[in-house]
Amino acid sequence: MILRTNSHINPEKLSDCQLAIGYFFNNTEVLEKALTHTSCKLENNFSNERLEFLGDAILGMIISDYLFKTLSECNEGELTKIKSVVVSQSTLAKVSVEAQLKDFLIVGRGLHDRNFFPKSLLANVFEAVIAAIYIDGGLVPAYNFTVRYLKKEVDIVCKDQHEKNYKSILQQYSQREYGVTPCYQVLQQIGPDHGKSFEIRVVIKNNEYGKGWGKSKKEAEQYAAKETLKMILPGLIQENEDKSRI
């Protein structure tokens, strides 16, 4: 379903969205603003940018409070690491899809394919909806909505089941063993500007290693780093994959 801002959202669509996220607004206009991407912003019209700004701050406070109260055994450094993963763009994009928000986003013509929305767009609308709920109903429903979708992500991180930062691991290994930082070489890129995919290869001291595809250069670099680690440290990768299946 493609929704446009040259007219208001069909009330039925707003009802479906509220049912999907489990919160019913007193003022549905704020929800409509939260769902409106800047690609649809017209002169004297609105988008969700300001709500995203507010939602980012509210999200940080809610997750900090939740971690502080539920993880009493963790020190400040550990809490910070957990929070950084839970509020990351990748995690927020994931839960945004789970909340079905991409089905109700109001987007411009250049973003017609909902299967290839950028992670940033999906993460931003999740933050905007948090802000919209906060404005409409206060902190308690915003808190409940946020924790409902992110609690399991906290549990995953605490169990060390989140995907490791393979680029960081490879960089530490390469600097220790070879005295250099790995280079990431773009081999090819395909697709339209709003939905490109990249193939990237790792090069260390002029030697070519693993390759990886991704919907962003960062994602492709992670896969390339992982493939490289499989080549030079296969035991480490197998251990991490075994943990993720527990």
pLDDT tens digits along 68-126: 999 987 888 888 889 999 999 999 999 999 999 988 988 776 666 556 788 889 999 99
At 113, which CATH number? Answer: 1.10.1520.10
In this structure, the answer to whether residues 52 and 84 fall within a common structural domain is yes
49 part of the active site: no
Count: domains in the chain? 2
Whether 238 is in a domain gets the answer no
Q: Does 29 reside within a domain?
A: yes
Q: Which of 158, 99, 85 is nearest to 127 (CA)?
A: 99
**CB of 63 closer than 8 Å to CB of 83:** yes
Q: Which residue has the higher pLDDT, 127 or 195?
A: 127
Full residue range of the structural domain in which residue 196 is found? 166-233
Query: Domain containing 195 — which CATH number?
Result: 3.30.160.20
Q: What is the pLDDT of residues 121-167, one digit of tens each?
A: 999 999 999 999 999 999 999 999 999 999 999 998 887 655 567 88
Q: Are 209 and 227 in contact (CB under 8 A)?
A: yes
Per-residue confidence band for 197, with pLDDT thresholds at 50, 70 and 90: very high
Plot region of 64 (φ>0 → left; ψ -120 to 50 → alpha; else → beta): alpha
* Gyration radius from the chain CA atoms: 20
Tell me, yes or no, whether 30 lies in a domain: yes
My answer on whether 115 and 131 are in the same domain is yes
The conformation of residue 104, written as its DSSP 8-state character, comes to: T
Residue 86 sits in the same domain as residue 186: no
- Residue 56 catalytic? yes
Catalytic residue among 56, 136, 153, 221: 56
Q: Which of 32, 52, 127, 221 is catalytic?
A: 127
